[in-house]
Amino acid sequence: MRTNGRISLRNPAAIGMDIVIPVGVALFVGLLIVRSATAAVAFGAAIALFLSLARSPLNALSLLLFLIPFSQTTLLNEPVVEFPGSRPFLLLGAFVAFIAFLNWRTVEQIPRLAVVYMLFFGGLLVISVFRSLPKVDLIAAALDQEYTEMGFLLSYVVKPALYMMPLVIITKFARDLKTVNRLVDTLVVSLIVLSIYFLCDYFFFVKDKGNIENAWEVVSDDLGLWKGMAGFLYVIGFPMVIARYFAKKDLVSMAGIILCLIAVGFLYSRTAYVTVVAAFFLFMFFSRRSRFLPVLLVLGVAASFVISDTIVERATKGIESEDLNQFASGRIDHQWIPLIEEYAQTPVDFAFGRGRYSVVTTRVWQSGIIPGAMHPHNMFLEMILDAGLVTLVVALIFILVLMKKAYYSLPHIEDGASKEYQCGAFVSMICYMMGGMTTGTMFPSLENSYFWFVAGLSIVIARLAYEPKPMEESTA
């Protein structure tokens, strides 16, 4: 075939595919229009999005990362068509994974630490969920849901895997400091929008604004997000907001800190209260700004005089009485100790667990001591219940190795912004461990989704810190 006087060497089969694919897509859209106009529009939008992001896995990931806090809303969690897995958020996750797959060979290999981390936690998730298949009916009854085995796997393997996906894509494709900056910006903007969402819901849709518990019921129904889960997003994400402020010192960062603090106050979560305050002090300490600690202390004392009495009472519950059980909302005596005692009677279960959401199989849960709770409000204890003490020890070793790598890379980072972000990532991991004492989970989930982002970012920054710098060209 001649084109402009030159012979084209294109394979006739490839030319045929250029015709077959558009025709096939057109026919598929036609069928969708017959069944559902909404699905057809969504598919058309997905094609347009794909064409714009086909060569940009990190841009596609940024979209997913931004939408993660809203993944339980009606818009993203309602099926597009009557087919398992047709929820928009799952489809978006599959779309991001597909773009990453298309570009997989274009860059270097994933760092070994990230590979081991993904294999361990990914394998742990799959094994634990498959061990829970025999008790799907029990879990479904506890959640007041109807699950087929396929629906259960989609909800508790595929969706959690999407929350862990940032670790994979960031460590594979993030190769420069400009990308690091862009990813942190996405996280911070996502938290800012989430905070604005809270506050708009509160001011415009909550009638009894003096009743914070009632207000949270309204917001939880709207977001599909329990307040403890929302609080854990701030536990992990807020240190990165602080880090961005010191990296850029712009109005966006300042607005982020203020909005996040107001939203955390509204959350009515003591875990979030404690870790957000700790994040300030820890970041100042590890970033070698200890001279600011007295100023923070004074500001904190001054703030206590203007903060709502309800929030102060909630935050200090159990402190004046020096009652640890009261501080933990009664969980020590009525949940954690009974669960440990029950598991201690069967050493095999204590060592290797019973599978995902095993709390519903315990006598403690079935007797009504933990009514409706699908976890024991302690991510370390949950890991023992679901996967055993042996697995918990291994998981903690992995996390501590990651934290050690982040900490020891700090003196080697020359870029000022990256050093702030690495410090923020390190503090974020500490807050993750602190917050896990009263909530959270080590399995990939919505509430700890920012942790996988932070872990991937930390690995990339550490790798860039140790990479040999290109030699400058000699000048004549």
Higher pLDDT residue, 108 or 402?
Answer: 402
CA atoms 29, 35, 37, 41: torsion sign: negative
CA distances from 285 to 58, 278, 299, 430 (A): 32, 11, 17, 13
CA distances from 104 to 19, 55, 96, 109, 399 (A): 26, 10, 12, 9, 26
Among the residue ranges 44-53, 75-84, 363-372, 388-397, the one predicted with the least confidence is 44-53
The two tokens of residue 224 are 């599909």
Angle formed by the axes of helices 270-286 and 251-267, to 10°? 150
- CA–CA dist 435, 245 (Å, integer): 23
Q: Which residues are paired to 7 by β-bridges? A: 2
pLDDT at 147 over 70: yes
CA atoms 378, 381, 385, 391: torsion sign: positive
What is the model's pLDDT at position 48? 60
In tens, the pLDDT along 152-211 reads: 887 888 889 989 999 999 999 998 889 999 999 999 999 999 999 888 887 887 777 667
Among the residue ranges 244-248, 338-342, 371-375, 434-438, the one predicted with the least confidence is 371-375
Q: For 447, what's the count of Cα atoms within 13 Å in the CB-facing half-sphere?
A: 22
- Across all residues in the chain, what is the average pLDDT? 80
Q: Which residues are paired to 6 by β-bridges? A: 3
Q: Which residue has the tokens 């997913």?
A: 64
What is the model's pLDDT at position 266? 79
Mean pLDDT of the 294-308 span: 54
Contact between 224 and 447 (Cβ < 8 Å): no
CA distances from 43 to 50, 365, 371 (A): 10, 43, 41
DSSP 8-state assignment for residue 157:
I
CA distances from 261 to 236, 283, 380, 437 (A): 14, 16, 27, 21
Confidence of residue 475 (pLDDT cuts 50, 70, 90): very low
DSSP letter string, 198-234 = HHHHHHHH-S-TT-HHHHHHHHHHHHT--HHHHHHHH
CA atoms 431, 434, 438, 443: torsion sign: positive
- CA–CA dist 465, 456 (Å, integer): 14
Q: Which residue has the tokens 């970033």?
A: 287
Confidence of residue 81 (pLDDT cuts 50, 70, 90): low
- CA–CA dist 160, 150 (Å, integer): 15
What is the model's pLDDT at position 95? 85
What is the model's pLDDT at position 43? 59
DSSP letter string, 338-371 = HHHHHHHTSHHHHHH--STTGGGGSHHHHTTSST
Mean pLDDT of the 40-46 span: 60
Confidence of residue 452 (pLDDT cuts 50, 70, 90): very high
pTM: 0.83
Mean pLDDT of the 44-49 span: 62
- CA–CA dist 279, 234 (Å, integer): 10
Mean pLDDT of the 215-241 span: 85
Mean pLDDT of the 437-454 span: 91
pLDDT at 324 over 50: yes
pLDDT at 126 over 90: yes
**Residue count (the chain):** 476
Q: Return the number of other C-beta atoms located less than 10 Å from residue 7's C-beta.
A: 7
Q: How far is CA 433 from the centre of its chain?
A: 14
Give the pairing type, strands 2-3 and 6-7. antiparallel
- CA–CA dist 67, 194 (Å, integer): 10
Contact between 67 and 76 (Cβ < 8 Å): yes
Largest Cα–Cα distance of the chain, in whole Å?
A: 90
pLDDT at 396 over 80: yes
Domain boundaries, given as residue ranges, for the chain: 12-53, 111-459
pLDDT at 265 over 60: yes
Percent of the chain at pLDDT exceeding 70: 75
CA distances from 402 to 114, 279, 459 (A): 9, 18, 8
Among the residue ranges 18-32, 259-273, 290-304, the one predicted with the least confidence is 18-32
Higher pLDDT residue, 208 or 277?
Answer: 277
CA atoms 212, 429, 111, 174: torsion sign: positive
